[in-house]
Structure 1
Amino acid sequence: MAFQSQRSIPSSSPRSGLAGLGLSSKAGGIFHTERTLPMYKDKPYFQPRRTAPRRGWKRAFGVLGICTLGLFWFLYTSKDLSVVQVPESSAADKGAELWSWMQTLKDEKPVKKPDWNARREKVRDTLIVSFDGYEKNAWGYDEYSPISNRHRNMVEGGLGWMIVDSLDTMIIMNLTSQVRHARQWIATSLRYDQDHDISTFETTIRMLGGLLSAHYLSTQYPNLAPIADDDAGAAGEDLYIEKATDLGDRLMSAFDTPTGIPYSSVNLNTSKGLRSHADGGAASTAEATSVQLEFKYLAKLTGEAEYWRIVEKPMEAVDKQHPTDGLVPIYIHPDTGQFRGNNIRLGSRGDSYYEYLIKQYLQTSEEEPIYKEMWDESLRGIRKHLLAFSKNAQLLVLGERPNGLEGSLSPKMDHLACFMPGTIALGATGGQLLSEARKSSDWTQQREEEIFIARELMKTCWATYKKTATGLAPEISHFVFKDMPTMMGDKYPDPAASKGSAPHELRSISLPLEPLNDGSEPWRDDIDIHRMDRHNLQRPESIESLFYMYRITGDEMYREWGWEMFKSFIQHTAVVEKGIADADAPITGRIKSFTSLDNADAIPPNQRDNMESFWMAETLKYFYLLFSDRDFISLEDHVFNTEAHPLPRFKPSGELTTGWKRSIRTA
């Protein structure tokens, strides 16, 4: 039975709690877990009164004097709330330093023992410059054009798209001043009562995920970008979770459908779900099934089991269709639960369905084996139907089946699909270091093969970067197959079908990507970039997978590939302001921001004048984590949502449990 909305959200004032939602099912025993989590304190409906301190240094006496001093400080420092309180010219200096460094990149020589801390600081400087450009020219707006300095909101008043999405990146990078400015805007300007429809999926992964991750990091890692939230005029410690709950409550109405599959959009003011205006009203399968991590963690924090239950419905509805070999078409109807069309791919509208199968299993500390079962089934289907080798260099390609599994394999591969190498490696070891995972008694030939597939696909994604003039991948790559594509199963028979025979040898058959003197590398002829697909949107998927591959295998090669990618972003996506030369001084300049490209296969590239929010939320975050120590925001203790917002793993209890079972399959 579909969840029936029992609430209406008044438009006259923002919601600050759960009163009136009809969410009466507090999860019994929810706060008893084996993991230490920054739990939201169990007090009714998020009332603003504090009941317990967060930091031990608070004093019971002298409150009046401290508040008086705090009020004086607030009035003195907040004369212009649009100006971030950071040292003058700090970001400008960083921009000038990056520009000077950029001039040396063409002549940079390989080093045997790179200073990864120094490289990580370059990423941090890039984030500082990127955010500073946004602060100066588009503060509070949802979209930013860094070349023209234009900006716009997606809805009246804005949704905090750039600010909230990048907030946890700034916490992770320990940027206290920037976090303070962002938090101040969230406290005073962010609201979710606009009379406008917004994307259910995008708002969940970016805004809800961003707020939940900021709440988690600011409580679990108090030394990262610490803010004394008891200063007079500062927002209270419950700010992020209160905003997240308000937003989550409004998004819930999208799930009020006959099947529980959410509508593509929801009106924030009326709290009413809206069917897609395209595709016959069908929802994107990936979007409907990639909101679970966020709502499950919200359920864990608040104890409200309804958040958990509503996001299980789409998973059950998809599984009821008994997708062949676990591969799902990219559209599904919320009203009937039926798939629309037969297009199967792991690029747009298909990707994160598979990602959230394994991540739901890991998020709940492997307590929901139903999702692991679905993941394993899908991975076998991918191996059987979608993985093929290119004609000349035998690159492993993740193709598409636009006409269903009975149709031909398309050699098209979205950059979006490059999340898959890292996700496969994550599923194989659970985030453990590979050398440790292999010691486990449950390590199998199947898991070894998954690591092999992850390595080969990562190499293919890296090849799409090396193919272009800028060293940055296009949005879409096509590959050259033989007339009858060589499928992975043709080279490596499925170990599940071996019936006890000796395991086959797993070895790379793809040719090396090292350049030849005459530029005649065979792999280059295997990659075909179409004219309309040459743009680069600063996407994170390949660097995301490099982050996973390094953390799991320990292979420094993946860090080096990431460093090459990062340098290419600096060289070709930087928005530069140049000074005026005179007789006594050379031309100087500074980088003021970074932007997307219209053509990544030309030098100089045509810059697009758009900085996506995921540049700061995902791409730079994954670079920073790739160059950080392995234990920092560890894979063993966290899952990253599909917008790179880290959330903790936990053991569910009480009513937070898998509420459905798979139906019996027939041959």
Structure 2
Amino acid sequence: MTVLIRRFVVLCISATVLLIGFRQLAQQDDLPPPHSTSSSQINHPVIWKDVPLRYPVSSMIPLPSGAPSPIPKIQHEFGVETENNKAKRKERLETVKKTFLHSWEGYKKHAWLQDEVTPVSGGYKNGFGRRGATLVDTLDTLSIMGLDKEFNLALSALNKIDFSTTEEPTLNVFETTIRYLGGLLSAYDLNEGRHRILLDKAVELGDMLYIAFDTPNRLPITRWDWANGALEGEQEAPSQALSAEIGSLSLEFTRLSQLTGDPKYFDAVQRISNQFEKHQNSTSIPEQYRKLYEGAIEAAKKHLFFRPMNPQNQDILISGTVRKNAADFIKLQPEGQHLACFAGGMVGIGSKIFERPDELDIARKLVDGCIWAYDSMPTGIMPESFVAVPCPDPKDCTYSTEKWHEAVINDRSIRSTLDVARIIREDGLVPGFTEISDRRFLLRPEAIESVFILYRITGDTSLQDSAWRMFQSIQNSTQTPIANSAIADVTCPPEREPEKLDECESFWMAETLKYFYLVFSEPDVVSLDDWVFNTEAHPLRRPQSS
């Protein structure tokens, strides 16, 4: 009788598992397929390599050959950690992984092969052409976390995505490159070239993006009518473009040339770098990037980075905004942005590879400035943007409530009739902040990105503790039964739950949780001496010098 009961129990469990599996498959089958086109004239895949070039290059810029130039060591020499520290680190690591799996399962159930899951309503959004943005963006995170079963599931789904067309009539070349092309190439590199489909899809997409460069000056159309490109219509690059957008294409296109041996991708982006330096003397490529960086960092130190007055009298820095008028007068706007928190990590890496050791201290102060912005808010989360009080003299920046109140009043257009206590109360201001210009948190990665980089450079475990505080605060305010959601107001008091915006961009799993995971990983997991991260946190393998 006991044997029969056991068999019955096993049968019931098996049936339950099968039923759940069938239900999940049925839910996924209810979702629209990931291939659609915005053009009534194109209803089939486009073979982009066969599209005739309007403005072919007369001489291809070759991919640099020979041994790569040596790059100074970036990462700290980590010693043996204590058993207690190791246990704490691994516990935090597993917690981050569980949070990732929670969001990943929500995406699989509610938005499989769509661009993004809506984490409150349990639906999906397709703002990137319905080409599985979250799936492609997250491939390398799955590999890094050792989630082989989930990675193979996502890999098999790639066959259903057509990267030669899109549902969006205007393709954002920057976002498509960093999320899709970067995601495919990173997963290929991390898996040591074992999955050919990743490179094949990267080439399919790279050939599409290459036609966006088919303009009279060979500079890309950043918001591109891809169907017009496929149908051989006239094309011209815009008269203006964000330098960060077109400059950020270099990694992915260069790596695609390295992996395929086809120089056309490198040629396309090297022409952008040459334009950046067109008024300077011709130099070799490594020296070109050094020269561009050194000019930019000197200007940033002089005009952009500022020390904010704060109640703790911390010696920290914020990367602000600079405006220049017609008379060439430069004025600092003491506005901090979450997006600008990448600066600390950038300056840190620059200080190592360009051998500028004094700037590592600046990098740390920039990172500490973003940590301060997190710690200052009632939710423990930094807002999208805020205004602080810059110190007139960075060497004498003692905080006073009177100076803060004066700055709060001066930031308002009508001053005489204002009650400062009322402004602070109604605007939800905390000491040191004169305005919270955008109270949202959009699950952004830039702050933890720089915390991770500075930890790997310095080995300072206090940065891991800061990362943990940030992670716990984000988790407490953003988790839903489905995934994690952007929130409307980081100044929400502790007794109230922040309003959730029903948004979960693909960078939450591709970037934010990846960096949180890596800051608690062993230091040799995606070492900064072997890998370089693109704008979307996709690590690409660095060619090593002999």
Query: For the superposition of Structure 1 and Structure 2, which TM-score range results when normalised by the shorter chain?
Result: 0.7 to 0.9
Aligned residue for 2:192, secondary structure, equals helix
Among 106, 122, 146, which residue is 2:95 paired with?
122
Tell me if structure 2 keeps the 8 A contact 1:538–1:619.
yes
Tell me if structure 2 keeps the 8 A contact 1:415–1:476.
yes
Distance 1:303 1:152 in 2: 36
The one-letter code of the counterpart of 2:183 is: G
**Aligned pair 1:403/2:324, yes or no?**
yes
- Classify 1:561/1:274 alpha carbon distance in 2 versus 1 (closer, same or farther; 3 Å): farther
Distance 2:333 2:204 in 1: 43
Q: Name the structure 2 match of 1:621.
A: 514
Distance 1:607 1:169 in 2: 25
The one-letter code of the counterpart of 2:323 is: P
Among 166, 172, 176, which residue is 1:203 paired with?
176
The one-letter code of the counterpart of 1:204 is: T
Q: Name the structure 2 match of 1:649.
A: 542
**Aligned pair 1:467/2:376, yes or no?**
yes
The one-letter code of the counterpart of 1:645 is: H
RMSD: 3.2
Q: CA deviation at 1:20?
A: 6.5
Q: Deviations for 1:585-639, whole angstroms, at most 9, x for unmatched residues?
A: xxxxxxx311100011103111111101100000000001000011111000110
Tell me if structure 2 keeps the 8 A contact 1:467–1:527.
no
Distance 2:502 2:349 in 1: 35
Structure 2, unmatched stretches of 5+, are: 1-40, 70-83, 400-428
Q: Name the structure 2 match of 1:424.
A: 347
Equivalent residues in 2 for 1:395-544 (5 A)?
A: 395-403=316-324, 406-430=329-353, 447-482=356-391, 485-486=392-393, 491=395, 525-530=431-436, 532-544=437-449
Tell me if structure 2 keeps the 8 A contact 1:170–1:178.
yes
Among 91, 100, 105, which residue is 1:132 paired with?
105
**Aligned pair 1:160/2:132, yes or no?**
yes
Distance 1:165 1:258 in 2: 32
Distance 2:60 2:214 in 1: 20
Q: Name the structure 2 match of 1:215.
A: 188
- Classify 1:165/1:475 alpha carbon distance in 2 versus 1 (closer, same or farther; 3 Å): same
Q: CA deviation at 1:185?
A: 1.3
Among 558, 561, 572, which residue is 2:463 paired with?
558
- Classify 1:571/1:178 alpha carbon distance in 2 versus 1 (closer, same or farther; 3 Å): same
Aligned residue for 2:442, secondary structure, equals coil
**Aligned pair 1:244/2:202, yes or no?**
yes
- Classify 1:26/1:300 alpha carbon distance in 2 versus 1 (closer, same or farther; 3 Å): farther
Aligned residue for 1:382, secondary structure, equals helix
Distance 2:514 2:474 in 1: 14
Q: CA deviation at 1:319?
A: 2.6
Distance 1:455 1:320 in 2: 33
Q: Deviations for 1:462-495, whole angstroms, at most 9, x for unmatched residues?
A: 011011111011001211125xx33x6xx5xxxx
Distance 2:136 2:90 in 1: 26
Q: CA deviation at 1:424?
A: 0.9
Q: Name the structure 2 match of 1:342.
A: none
Distance 1:16 1:186 in 2: 18
Q: CA deviation at 1:259?
A: 3.2
Equivalent residues in 2 for 1:352-367 (5 A)?
A: none
Aligned residue for 1:373, secondary structure, equals helix
Q: Name the structure 2 match of 1:547.
A: 452
The one-letter code of the counterpart of 1:525 is: P
**Aligned pair 1:383/2:301, yes or no?**
yes
Tell me if structure 2 keeps the 8 A contact 1:468–1:601.
yes
Tell me if structure 1 keeps the 8 A contact 2:131–2:166.
no
- Classify 1:29/1:152 alpha carbon distance in 2 versus 1 (closer, same or farther; 3 Å): closer
Q: Name the structure 2 match of 1:179.
A: 151
Aligned residue for 1:401, secondary structure, equals strand
Which moved further from structure 2: 414-423 or 143-152? 143-152
Which structure: greater helix fraction? 2
Distance 1:428 1:254 in 2: 34
Q: Name the structure 2 match of 1:373.
A: 291
Distance 1:267 1:510 in 2: 54
The one-letter code of the counterpart of 1:159 is: R
Aligned residue for 1:477, secondary structure, equals strand
Q: Deviations for 1:527-553, whole angstroms, at most 9, x for unmatched residues?
A: 2342x4110001000100011110000
Q: CA deviation at 1:184?
A: 1.5
Equivalent residues in 2 for 1:314-325 (5 A)?
A: 314-320=272-278
- Classify 1:211/1:218 alpha carbon distance in 2 versus 1 (closer, same or farther; 3 Å): same
Equivalent residues in 2 for 1:46-57 (5 A)?
A: none
- Classify 1:213/1:17 alpha carbon distance in 2 versus 1 (closer, same or farther; 3 Å): farther
The one-letter code of the counterpart of 2:535 is: T
Among 131, 151, 156, which residue is 2:124 paired with?
151
Equivalent residues in 2 for 1:169-318 (5 A)?
A: 169-194=141-166, 196-219=169-192, 237-271=195-229, 282-318=240-276
Tell me if structure 2 keeps the 8 A contact 1:292–1:311.
yes
Aligned residue for 1:413, secondary structure, equals strand
Q: Deviations for 1:278-330, whole angstroms, at most 9, x for unmatched residues?
A: xx8632221111100000000101111111111112222233367xxxxxxxx
The one-letter code of the counterpart of 2:215 is: T
- Classify 1:30/1:570 alpha carbon distance in 2 versus 1 (closer, same or farther; 3 Å): same
Q: Deviations for 1:447-471, whole angstroms, at most 9, x for unmatched residues?
A: 2320110111111110110111110
Q: Name the structure 1 match of 2:115.
A: 142
Q: Deviations for 1:56-83, whole angstroms, at most 9, x for unmatched residues?
A: xxxxxxxxxxxxxxxxxxxxxxxxxxxx
Distance 1:464 1:127 in 2: 24
Q: TM-score, normalised by structure 2?
A: 0.75
Tell me if structure 2 keeps the 8 A contact 1:199–1:265.
yes
The one-letter code of the counterpart of 2:375 is: K
Aligned residue for 2:318, secondary structure, equals strand
Q: Name the structure 2 match of 1:94.
A: none
Aligned residue for 1:249, secondary structure, equals helix
Q: CA deviation at 1:117?
A: 1.3
- Classify 1:27/1:263 alpha carbon distance in 2 versus 1 (closer, same or farther; 3 Å): closer
| Alignment length (residue pairs) | 446
Q: CA deviation at 1:269?
A: 4.1
Q: Name the structure 2 match of 1:343.
A: none
The one-letter code of the counterpart of 1:211 is: L
Distance 1:417 1:155 in 2: 23
- Classify 1:275/1:130 alpha carbon distance in 2 versus 1 (closer, same or farther; 3 Å): farther
Q: Name the structure 2 match of 1:593.
A: 483
Tell me if structure 2 keeps the 8 A contact 1:300–1:652.
no
Distance 2:542 2:145 in 1: 21
The one-letter code of the counterpart of 2:489 is: N
Distance 2:463 2:544 in 1: 32
Identical aligned residues as a percent: 34
Tell me if structure 1 keeps the 8 A contact 2:100–2:509.
yes
- Classify 1:319/1:33 alpha carbon distance in 2 versus 1 (closer, same or farther; 3 Å): closer
Distance 2:86 2:265 in 1: 48
